[in-house]
Amino acid sequence: MEVIGKILSRVGVERDVLIASLTCRKWREAYRKHLHTLSFNVAHDSRVYCDLPTADLEALIAKTLFQTSGVKRLSILMNSKHKFSSGSIVGWLFFVRETLLELFYKVSTSPSINVLDICGGQRLETLSLCECTIKGVEPNFQRFPCLTSLSLRRVSISAEDLNSLLLAFPKLERLELSNPIIRAINDAVDSVNITIKLRCPTIKSLILKDVDQSKFILENGCIECVDVNHCYFGSFKVSGSNSSRHFKFFKSKAHLLDIEEGDNLELWILIKFLRVPHRLDIWQYFCVFPTAYMENLVLLEIGWDSFDGFWDLVEKVLKYCPNVRKLIVHGTIPKRQDDEFFELFGQHTTSMVETMRKYHHIEVQILYSSDFYSSNPLTDRWLL
């Protein structure tokens, strides 16, 4: 029975699990007693989820869920078409919370509910919330003793509540903020004048996507990996950590980029593209270069979509990274080229050869693309 339950858990998708469970008595019993993963995701079958009236969809989810007895991983990911009854959602979450280890939640309810209050104090290890509002987190709010991974996508929250929330997770190791709506204390949304200052001593991995803030400061004692994607900052600072190993700054911009104690970095990816063609102002990035040499850095990735001064930038970076063994360069080639492009590309190639002669011990890999967003291996991957 447990083997069948594992098979059904790998299937996960509610519709397919139900169909499989109808094959025979043993499969039905395995579904009830040994199913660990269940997913209600509009992306898996948008036709069914969109065509069903909300009341019928609520009944379907309830009937499917209440026949199980040990769900550990639950995904309820709906679109804005359906506004569920808060009573139904509360009932579902209360039913599974004693066994639940992972929750992926994107549901519109009337009235709104506080998922944190319902799921707190249990065994939950992974929590992903999307398109909800978090307000009034108490400073001593500690109800998630086992949570190690938190993802907030398009979540509205104040900087103060965010810090109070992080303190509720004494074992938190991974934090993802994707397109957050950061509010001031008076509930005003003005990212230009709001500073995010995160304090969470247990975080090892920080992932930021589509964050637009004037000032972002991470104070952390054990951060190992920082991954910044499609973000804009007036200033970005990582301080108080001497354990940083990986730093990625992909298609993002910071007028001031400051990584303190970056001596232990092993992987540094800096891929920045400007919208102005054929112009790269390397002096904007004087703060990218650390004050200390990064002697542990062995792999460096850097990217461009313009030519002017690019290899000067590469040399500046390499001077601070004496032990780099591999350099990966990402570049874009426009689909339409004119004579000016070929002239600039020739000069760019000459500069590349001259630079690599100085660093003949470094393995160089150059990746060209006419459509960087779709072909680059660092393109965003979303759970929701």
Task: Supply the pLDDT for residue 330.
Answer: 83
Tokens for 81?
Answer: 């078409």
- Which segment of 126-140, 151-165, 171-185, 246-260 scores lowest on mean pLDDT? 246-260
pLDDT higher than 50, residue 249: yes
Q: How far apart are CA 295 and CA 291, in angstroms?
A: 12
Give the 3-state DSSP-derived string for 62-105, with helices as H, strands as E and coil as C. HHHHHCCCCCCEEEEECCCCCEEEHHHHHHHHHHHCCCCCEEEE
Tokens for 71?
Answer: 């769900």
Task: Supply the pLDDT for residue 125.
Answer: 95
- Residue bearing the bigger pLDDT, 253 or 105: 105
- Residue bearing the bigger pLDDT, 243 or 350: 350
**In this structure, are residues 50 and 79 in contact, taking their beta carbons and an 8 Å threshold?**
yes
What are the residues whose beta carbons fall under 8 Å from the beta carbon of 289, sequence distance 6 or more? 316, 317, 320
Task: Supply the pLDDT for residue 1.
Answer: 46
State the angle between helix axes of 14-21 and 54-66 in degrees (0 to 180), rounded to the nearest 10: 50
pLDDT higher than 90, residue 57: no
Average pLDDT over all residues of the chain: 77
- Residue bearing the bigger pLDDT, 29 or 83: 83
Task: Supply the pLDDT for residue 310.
Answer: 83
- Residue bearing the bigger pLDDT, 179 or 19: 179
Q: Is 84 left (phi over 0), alpha (psi -120 to 50) or beta?
A: beta
Q: What is the mean pLDDT of residues 304-312?
A: 77
Q: Is the dihedral of CA 48, 53, 56, 60 positive or negative?
A: positive
Q: How far apart are CA 250 and CA 377, in angstroms?
A: 11
User: Tens of pLDDT along 320-379?
Assistant: 788 899 998 888 777 788 888 888 888 888 988 998 899 989 999 988 876 544 333 333
The three-state secondary structure class of 125 is coil
Which pTM does this prediction carry? 0.74
pLDDT higher than 80, residue 314: yes
Q: Could you tell me whether strands 225-229 and 205-209 are parallel, antiparallel, or unpaired per DSSP bridges? A: parallel
User: Tens of pLDDT along 142-198?
Assistant: 678 899 999 999 999 988 899 888 888 889 999 999 999 988 766 666 555 788 888
What single string gives the DSSP state of each residue in 249-304? EES-EEEEEEETT-TT--EEEEE---SSTT---GGGGTTTS-SS--TT--EEEEEE
pLDDT higher than 80, residue 311: yes
- Residue bearing the bigger pLDDT, 370 or 50: 50
Q: How far apart are CA 147 and CA 224, in angstroms?
A: 18
User: Tens of pLDDT along 262-283?
Assistant: 666 666 666 654 333 333 333 3
Task: Supply the pLDDT for residue 271.
Answer: 60
